[in-house]
């Protein structure tokens, strides 16, 4: 039994040693991404104009809205592909049930009795 547990621990440590480190080139604390070999990269020399629709999402009110994290991932993917932040013009259209993400902390606390994540 001890031998099996030892083998299991060694395998777990080996897998973790080869785990890929996440990247956050533009949005530092959210939208972590991972580089994929032979991926098609965006053209770093053009200016991107992107509109993202953020609407009702079922979520825990104590956590960041998953749609916002997806916007951060999209920005980080472009950054990993060599696009500079100044070449990304992004507008997020927030409506419906997602409008609480733009509340200031005081209004969010009044509505949910929690800090706005």
pLDDT tens for the chain, residues 1 to 117: 566 666 666 666 655 555 678 999 999 999 999 998 899 999 999 999 999 999 876 678 888 888 999 999 999 999 999 999 999 999 999 998 888 889 999 999 999 899 988
Q: Is residue 9 part of a domain?
A: no
93 lies in some domain: yes
Say if 8 falls within a structural domain: no
Q: Six-digit token pair at 29?
A: 């604390």
Q: Which domain holds residue 98?
A: 20-36+44-112
Task: Check: CB of residue 25 under 8 Å from CB of residue 80.
Answer: yes
Q: Is residue 80 part of a domain?
A: yes
Number of domains in the chain: 1
Cα(91)–Cα(94) distance, rounded to whole angstroms? 9
Residue 1 domain flag: no
Domain presence at residue 53: yes
Give the position of tokens 């956590």. 63
């Amino acid at each position: 039994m001890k031998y099996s547990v030892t083998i299991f621990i060694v395998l777990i440590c080996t897998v973790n040693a080869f785990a890929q480190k996440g990247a956050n080139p533009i949005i530092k604390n959210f939208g972590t991404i991972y580089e994929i070999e032979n991926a098609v990269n965006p053209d770093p020399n053009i200016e991107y104009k992107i509109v993202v629709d953020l609407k009702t999402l079922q979520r825990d009110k104590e956590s960041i809205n998953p749609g916002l994290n997806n916007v951060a991932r999209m920005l980080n993917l472009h950054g990993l592909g060599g696009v500079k932040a100044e070449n990304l013009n992004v507008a997020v259209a927030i409506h419906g049930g997602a409008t609480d993400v733009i509340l200031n902390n005081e209004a969010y606390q009044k509505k949910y009795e929690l800090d706005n994540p």
